[in-house]
């Protein structure tokens, strides 16, 4: 059975576009919803252009009431019956209660070679540490931030003179390859780790 995929975004949505465009033909999944936590998320228009249903659950009116924000997201998601949730540049921390609702069916892409550099400013931290390589990881989401089983990684060398921006520009195209490659496998229950290049 074709898997139904909801993609959660906060920003430009380039990973969302890569995921959505990959889900055609023989692919075992299809995008059914792009959900953003802000109406300003640039990816919403791109999703609509791709013919994907979109929704916004703005976190701001909920203030510190994370449970109420998540309940509203759950309601919106449930209306589209997703089997898999892909976080793609979604910049809100999710509680264990919310994550556990999806019973291991939630994925995230993080711009570091996890378990290194959970959280923010990953590229700056890799450069600062003198790392010789950097990259990105796709992992299953658990209640712990940027934790959970790693399903794929892509690596690039850190070059002399790299800045967080040049490193990000080198890694982002790999994110666009890695995430679809992992999702394609995950949708048929294959949890073997994808390594790029
Ligand atoms: C990506 O670098 C992703 O790894 C990180 O946020 C960025 C999102 O970019 N979590 P986009 O919205 O997919 O273009």
Tokens encoding 4: 């139904």
Protein residue with its CA nearest to atom 3 in ligand 1: 89
Ligand 1 pocket, mutate which of 113, 175, 179, 183 (most atoms under 8 A from CB): 175
Cβ pair 131, 146 in contact under 8 A: no
Beta bridge pairs of residue 140 = 107
Query: 44 CA distance to ligand 1 centroid (A)?
Result: 14
The Cα 28–Cα 172 span in angstroms is 24
Please report the domains of the chain, with CATH numbers, ordered by start residue: 3-189 (3.40.50.170)
> Whose CA is closest to 56, among 107, 102, 10?
10
pTM attached to this predicted model? 0.97
pLDDT of residue 134: 98
Q: What is the pLDDT of residue 103?
A: 82
Enumerate the active-site residues: 110
Q: How far is the CA of 107 from the centre of ligand 1 (A)?
A: 13
Residue 150 CB neighbours (<10 A):
18
In this predicted model, what pLDDT tens digit does every residue of 58-76 receive, in sequence order?
999 999 999 999 999 999 9
184, pLDDT greater than 90: yes
């Amino acid at each position: 059975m074709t898997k139904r995929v909801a993609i959660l975004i906060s920003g430009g949505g380039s990973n969302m576009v890569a995921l959505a465009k990959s889900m055609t033909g023989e692919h075992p999944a299809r995008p059914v919803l792009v959900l953003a936590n802000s109406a300003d998320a640039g990816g919403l228009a791109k999703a609509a252009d791709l013919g994907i249903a979109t929704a916004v659950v703005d976190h701001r009116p909920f203030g510190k009431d994370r449970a109420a924000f998540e309940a509203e997201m759950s309601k919106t998601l449930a209306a589209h019956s997703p089997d898999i949730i892909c976080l793609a540049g979604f910049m809100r921390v999710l509680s264990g209660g919310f994550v556990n609702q999806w019973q291991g069916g939630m994925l995230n892409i993080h711009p570091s070679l996890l378990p290194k550099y959970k959280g923010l400013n990953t590229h700056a931290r890799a450069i600062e540490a003198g790392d010789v390589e950097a990259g990105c990881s796709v992992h299953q989401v658990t209640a712990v931030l940027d934790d959970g089983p790693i399903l794929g990684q892509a690596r690039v060398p850190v070059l002399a003179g790299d800045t967080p921006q040049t490193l990000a520009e080198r890694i982002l195209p790999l994110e666009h390859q890695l995430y679809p490659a992992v999702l394609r496998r995950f949708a048929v229950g294959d949890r073997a780790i994808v390594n790029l290049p």
